[in-house]
Amino acid sequence: MKKIIRRIIILLLLFLLLFIWLSLVYFKETKNPPYQYPGNDSYTIKPSDNEDNETENKTMALSSLYPIIFVHGWMGKNIDYLEYLAKLQSKGVAESKGLIDRYSNESICPEKWPVGVAVSAEYYYFDNFNRGIEDYAKELDHSVGLVMNCTGSEQVVLVAHSMGGLVSRKYMVDYGNEHVKKLITLATPHYGFNEFTRTEIVLMIIRLFTGREKEVDQMRPDSDFLKQLDKDDLNQRDNIVSIGTYNVANQTASFGLTVFQSELSGFEKQHFENSDVVVKLDSTKLAGAKYYQIEGCSHTELLGFRKSYPKGPISNPKTCPDAYNIVQKEIVISHP
């Protein structure tokens, strides 16, 4: 009886944490961001003791020869990548041109931009709510076309987090693989999210709270969408780089709590081992694409306050410098 009560308490605790996370991302999604446009094969990377390593401190002499477009993940916003834009500019890799969306047009570039620029694109809008990844790929098509017109470049580099990687792959299938010099995905569930996330009760909570039922179903392992996408771009992955991360200590769910430690440890090992909590490593490794594996970064901001976590979100260059260094390297070597 005591064991049953403990398990119930653990599940309630986990669902409370899930509710808090969904509350945070929902608030971020509905908040109107201040859109401002400024003027004219496989590697394992372990986090070093010193985050500001040699690559981190060295300013790149070569700028990107292609414009860079960041694509946010599930329940994200284009504003999430301002840190990345600033970092690339500070390193001399690309000049930040801020945020773009469906309302952006060539008036944001009255004078042609140099090819070495970086922007962050939006694909979430009220009128495409719950229409799925296909609609988001259509929005990305507008952003790619705009950036190519503003720069005169015939190709772009896409950097995409989580579901943004699926949006980008769908864009490449439907609107033009030839327009993408390279796609770099960060913790993208190419083969679906992990076992815990796909349990019916968790999916029910996500659907009820966010209303984004279609895209959640599309990211389920073995979904019709993922199987079709896997067939559609199977022979077009030479220009894709995927990066996955996992928790070193695998103590994710406990968040440093001392109560029910043994029960939580067993639960975590069963559901979260070799994953970033949301996505298993195996799912981030896209067959036929170049692959990097790094330790200790999280999937989202929610896990950032956990003391035992070595680093933070994989999509933030400050909290996950190992991922940033890979992204920077892959951008710079994307030369003809």
> What pLDDT is stored for residue 130 in this prediction?
80
> What pLDDT is stored for residue 112 in this prediction?
93
Residues (pLDDT < 50) of the chain are: 21-22, 24-42, 44-62, 200-201, 248-261, 263-264, 267, 303-308
Q: What is the C-alpha to C-alpha distance for residues 319 and 313, in angstroms, rounded to an integer?
A: 6
What pTM, to 2 d.p., does this model score?
Answer: 0.77
Strand order in the sheet with 95-100: 42-45, 290-295, 240-246, 180-186, 156-161, 68-71, 117-121, 95-100
Identify each DSSP E strand in the chain by its residue range. Answer: 42-45, 68-71, 95-100, 117-121, 156-161, 180-186, 240-246, 290-295
> What pLDDT is stored for residue 259 in this prediction?
44
> What pLDDT is stored for residue 306 in this prediction?
47
- Torsional sign, CA 257, 260, 265, 268: negative
Model pLDDT for residues 226-279, shown as the tens digit of each residue: 999 999 999 889 999 999 998 744 444 444 444 444 544 554 555 556 667 788
Q: What is the C-alpha to C-alpha distance for residues 300 and 180, in angstroms, rounded to an integer?
A: 26
- Is 110:152 a contact under the CB 8 Å cutoff? no
> What pLDDT is stored for residue 242 in this prediction?
97
- Is 213:203 a contact under the CB 8 Å cutoff? no
C-alpha 275 chain-centroid distance: 14
CATH 3.40.50.1820 fits 2-332, yes or no: yes
181 three-state secondary structure:
strand
> What pLDDT is stored for residue 178 in this prediction?
94
> What pLDDT is stored for residue 33 in this prediction?
38
Question: Cα-flanking dihedrals φ and ψ of residue 108, to 5°?
Answer: -80, -10
275: which strand partners? 280
Domain range list for the chain: 2-332
